[in-house]
Amino acid sequence: MSWCGPVSQPDIIAEVADFFVRFDRVDWALAVGLFENMLKLSVRVDQLGGHSGEVLRAVVDGLGSAGGHDKRAGGAIPLADTRPETIDAMLSTVLHRLLNKLSIDEKQGHRLLEASPVIDAP
C-alpha cells in the first residue's frame, strides 16, 4: 500500500500503483491519494486471475465504490472531513480489509522503502 497524499489529478495514483506492482515479490499494489475530499484508490495485480475489481469492491463495501477487471481496479471513498486522523483511520481500515480479503497476515509483509522524501505533485 502506498499513500500518495493530496494529488492534483487522480491519474498520479494509478501511476504509483503501476510502478510498484513491477517490483520483485510484489503481487498486489494499492495506491491511495486524496483528491477533492475523496480517497481515490488504484489497485494493480501482477498476474491474470487476480480479480482486482471484485477484491476492491469488497474492500470498500459500505465505504465507497469500486470497479475494475482482472489486473486493474479503481475506487473512491468520500470523506466527511480530511483531517489527518480521519484519513489515517480510513487508510488503516482499507489496509486491514485488503489484507483480510487476500488472506495475508499483516506481519508477513515488509516496507519496500523505510522512508522517502515528500515530493509535491505539480
Domains of the chain: 2-101 (3.10.310.40)
pLDDT (tens digit per residue) in 3-38: 999 999 999 999 999 998 988 778 899 999 999 999
* pLDDT band for position 86 (cuts 50, 70, 90): very high
**Alpha helices of the chain — where are they, by DSSP H?**
11-20, 52-59, 84-101
Greater model confidence, 76 or 1: 76
pLDDT (tens digit per residue) in 34-43: 999 999 999 9
pLDDT for 55 = 93
Helix or strand (DSSP H, E) at 77: strand 72-78
Helix or strand (DSSP H, E) at 28: strand 28-35
pLDDT for 49 = 73
Nearest to 56 by CA among 78, 32, 79: 32
What are the cell numbers at 16?
A: 504509483
pLDDT (tens digit per residue) in 48-63: 777 899 999 999 999 9
pLDDT (tens digit per residue) in 105-122: 876 665 656 665 555 555
Q: Would strands 38-45 and 28-35 be described as parallel, antiparallel, or unpaired?
A: antiparallel
What are the cell numbers at 14?
A: 494509478
pLDDT for 69 = 86
Q: Which amino acid is at 10?
A: P
**Angstrom distance (rounded) from CA 20 to CA 8:** 20
pLDDT for 23 = 81
Contact criterion met (CB below 8 Å) for 42 and 14: yes
Count other Cβ atoms within 10 Å, centred on residue 35.
17
